[in-house]
Amino acid sequence: MIKITCISEVQYEIKAVKENNKSFITNFYLEIDKMKTWIKDGELYKIRIGSTVFFLKKDAEFSFLFYSSSSFEALGDSLSILNSKINNIFFVIDIIGKEPNILLLVSLFKQHGFYLYTSLTRMSRLTDVSKHQKPIHKITNADSSQIKVIINLLHKYFDPLAEQLPTYKEINNWIKLNQILIIEVKEEIAGLVIFDLIGVTSYLRYWFVNPNYRNRKIGSSLLSSFFIKSAKTKRQLFWVIRTNENAIKRYMHYDFQEENLYDYILTNKNIQYETENN
Amino acid sequence: MKQKIINILNEIRPEFEFTSGIDFISAGMLDSFDVLTLVNELEEKFGISIDGLDIVPENFCTIESIVGIINKNE
């Protein structure tokens, strides 16, 4: 396993496995800024096995696994070697795509020592300003004094394997951009939404109501505020855990539709997402 | 060639209007997952293989840059 020190190393590895092969497959999406941060923080590693290069993004307790391979068959061969070579790292892998194609990849990973942890579905809707409702609660922007509280809430109520919890730096950045909205009750955060606005698209990253404050329309107030903030975008989208039927029903109530785009999360430990996390 | 590229983009993200001069990534019309889908579609529909070094978002953010990358890899 070799630590990556610059972005061109990533590009050369991808070039090497891709060369002269049109059935190239990967789950390593090209978010250059994010990748540069990982490299700068010493978190990105590579392992080259045959015609596959694996990239590992180290987290505190596990490593996100990415692959770029010259073909489906080559990936299978490399996975069997990866498992025999490295059995002391807790891998988490996201396989994103449309069904039924993606199921072949999921099956390949299962054949080579990976287990399905959970899966997410992407939902989206096109903006309909006429349906925006005013929130009934007072909504404010989170400020930097609340970063630690927000981190604690996310770590307590969200799943780090399935929901890619943000770093201190990312939360601070959202706060600077006024992209964390909160409702406070007695100086406690009763609920929050975190979102990104990128041109015509807004991404709902986290929508959360503290269990102590549920059934008070806090969630709908937060979502209304998110829609108002997204009024200039053309679509809103987010990922939700597929077994979270209550959340999916709520989103459908707000005109979100599933896109037939799924994220299967697998690990090399036989553990499963706990639905009570919802 | 431009119309063929627009048709591919419309298949990937039918809700948007893809025209010349727009940066599709900073405009939020394409994300990183869409870029990889686009790479696969371009390779299949233009019968090319795009060099791994060229697969960076800036090469796929406008119609003009996509034309450039197709010409380079033909």
- Cβ separation A200–B27 shorter than 8 A: yes
What would the mean pLDDT of B33-61 be, rounded to a whole number? Answer: 86
Exposure string (b/e) for A211-235, b if CB count within 10 Å is 16 or more? eebeebebbbbbbbbbbebbeebbb
Handedness of CA A65, A70, A74, A78 (dihedral sign): negative
Please tell me the predicted confidence (pLDDT) of residue A21. 66
Among the residue ranges A71-85, A128-142, A201-215, the one predicted with the least confidence is A128-142
Please indicate if any CB of chain B lies within 8 Å of the CB of A18.
yes
Which of B22, B49, B60, B65 to mutate: most A Cβ within 10 Å? B49
Taking contacts as CB-CB distances below 8 angstroms, the residues of chain B near A31 are 32, 57
Contacting A residues, span 235-264, partner chain B, CB-CB under 8 Å: 235, 261
Contacts of B32 in chain A (CB under 8 A): 29-31
Q: Which residues pair with A66 in a beta bridge?
A: A55
| Nearest-neighbour CA in chain A from B19: distance (Å) | 14
What distance in Å separates residue A43's CA from the closest CA in chain B?
20
pLDDT at A32: 80
Please state the length of chain A: 278
**pLDDT (mean) for B10-35:** 90
| 3-class DSSP assignment, residue B49 | coil
**Residue of chain A whose Cα is closest to the Cα of B53:** A11
Which residues make beta-bridge pairs with A195? Answer: A204
The answer to whether B52 and B72 have CB atoms below 8 angstroms apart is no
Strands (E), chain A: 2-3, 25-26, 44-49, 52-58, 63-69, 91-97, 115-126, 140-141, 180-185, 188-198, 201-209, 235-241, 257-267
Q: Is the pLDDT of residue A100 over 50?
A: yes
What average pLDDT is seen over chain A? 90
Over residues A144-156, the pLDDT tens digits come to 999 999 999 999 9
Q: Does A201 touch chain B (CB under 8 A)?
A: yes
B63-66 long-range contacts, CB within 8 A, separation 24+:
B63/B2, B63/B5, B63/B6, B63/B18, B63/B19, B63/B20, B63/B21, B64/B20, B64/B21, B66/B5, B66/B38, B66/B42
* Segments forming the whole domain that contains residue B13: 2-72
A64's CB contacts (< 8 A; 6+ apart) are A56, A57, A91, A92, A93, A94
Which residue matches tokens 């459908």?
A: A252
Measured between CB atoms, which of A22, A26, A234 is closest to B49? Answer: A22
In this structure, what token pair is assigned to residue A24? Answer: 């190239």
pLDDT at A246 over 90: no
Q: What pLDDT, on a 0 to 100 scale, did the predictor assign at position A276?
A: 54
The CA distance from A33 to the nearest CA of chain B, in Å, is 11
What is the distance between the alpha carbons of residues B12 and B30, in angstroms, rounded to a whole number?
A: 9
pLDDT band at A268 (very low <50, low <70, confident <90, very high): very high
| Nearest alpha-carbon partner for A129 in A255, A257, A252 | A255
| Alpha carbon of B53: minimum distance to chain A alpha carbons (Å) | 5
Q: List Cβ neighbours of B15 (8 Å cut-off, separation of 6 or more).
A: A126, A234, A235
pLDDT category of residue A64 using cuts at 50, 70 and 90: very high
- List the domain boundaries for chain A: 2-89, 128-233
pLDDT for A273:
86
If you average pLDDT over residues B11-35, what whole number do you get? 90
pLDDT confidence of residue A221 = 94
Predicted confidence at residue A278, as pLDDT, reads: 47
Mean pLDDT, range A236-251, rounded to an integer:
92
Q: At B37, which CATH number?
A: 1.10.1200.10
> Rounded distance, CA A164 to CA A170, Å?
12
Number of independent structural domains in chain B: 1
pLDDT of residue A130: 67
Enumerate the residues of chain B whose CB falls inside 8 A of the CB of residue A18.
49, 51-52, 55
Choose which CATH entry (3.30.70.360, 3.40.50.720, 3.30.465.10, 3.40.630.30) describes domain A128-233.
3.40.630.30
pLDDT of residue A66: 95
pLDDT per position as a tens digit, A188-213? 999 999 999 999 999 999 999 999 99
Q: Is pLDDT at B8 greater than 80 in this prediction?
A: yes
Mean pLDDT computed over A94-103:
90
Kindly report the pTM of this predicted structure. Answer: 0.88
